[in-house]
Amino acid sequence: MPQRAKLNKRISKNMENEQKEKQNNNAEKRGRIIKGLVVSDKMNKTVVVAVLSLKEHPKYRKRYKSTKRYKAHDENNEYKVGEKVLIQECRPISKDKRWKVIGRISKSEK
Which helix or strand (DSSP H or E) is residue 19 part of?
A: helix 2-30
Backbone angles phi and psi of 34, in degrees to 5: -135, 160
Q: Residue 47, exposed/middle/buried by CB under 10 A (0-12, 13-18, 19+)?
A: buried
The whole-number average pLDDT for the span 87-100 is 96
Residues in the chain: 110
pLDDT of residue 27: 47
Q: Can you give the residue ranges of every domain in the chain? A: 1-30, 31-106
CATH number for the segment(s) 31-106? 2.40.50.140
User: Is the pLDDT reported for residue 22 higher than 70?
Assistant: no
Q: Hey, what's the torsion of the CAs at 28, 34, 39, 41, to 10 degrees?
A: 40
pLDDT band at 20 (very low <50, low <70, confident <90, very high): low
pTM higher than 0.95, yes or no? Answer: no
pLDDT of residue 108: 74
Instruction: Tell me the per-residue pLDDT of 40-82, one tens digit each, with 9 for 90 and over.
Output: 999 999 999 999 999 999 999 999 999 999 999 999 999 999 9
